[in-house]
Amino acid sequence: MKSDKLRLFTGIELPETIRQAIPDCQCHLPGARWQTFGQLHLTVNFIGAVSPALAEEIAARVRDTQFAPFSVVLTGAGHFRTRAVWLGVEPEAPLIDLHNQDKAALTALGVTLDNRHYRPHVTLARMASGAQREDIARYVKAFRDFHCAPFDVRQLALFSSTPGVGGSRYEIIARSGEAR
């Protein structure tokens, strides 16, 4: 039986020019399942599975979100153990502020969020089980100096995530500043 819940997260949609630069560093890593062009984004808060009614409340809250625009740049590669490799984001402070603002608004709606430390990043690849630490360390070292052009962050987006063959498919269902 299919669930009627929606799997959601808030994030930043990357400009097309930035997404086009990322494949330059999606190579030479055994066991990597590279994110596709359409999967590249910067997560602000992972929400998880919610009812359609709560999803609409969250979408309305995202549309009402206001923050001062800021510029960021994607920087050197890093990893989360042997599960994923990513590009960092600098400066982190405005994204951490947006994360905290968004987290407070989501919590006020009754959403329970993960309390792990927030590290702004763009996931490049998810790693197959059995990925070798040495391969990941070599990859991170090779791309530690990666930088793309700066880009402006002007909107927060609400994404839905639908699991499928080849990874999840993401769709933006609301953006800050949009009319209802």
Catalytic residue numbers, as ranges = 41, 121
Instruction: Give the per-residue SS3 of 20-64.
Output: HHHHHHCCCCCCEEECCHHHCEEEEEEEEEECHHHHHHHHHHHHH
Classify residue 130 as exposed, middle or buried by CB count within 10 Å of its CB (0-12, 13-18, 19+).
Answer: exposed
Residues 6+ apart with CB under 8 A from 76: 87, 88, 140, 143, 144, 145, 146, 147
The answer to whether residues 67 and 12 touch, using CB atoms and an 8 Å cutoff, is no
Q: How far apart are CA 68 and CA 66, in angstroms?
A: 7
Q: How far apart are CA 136 and CA 115, in angstroms?
A: 26
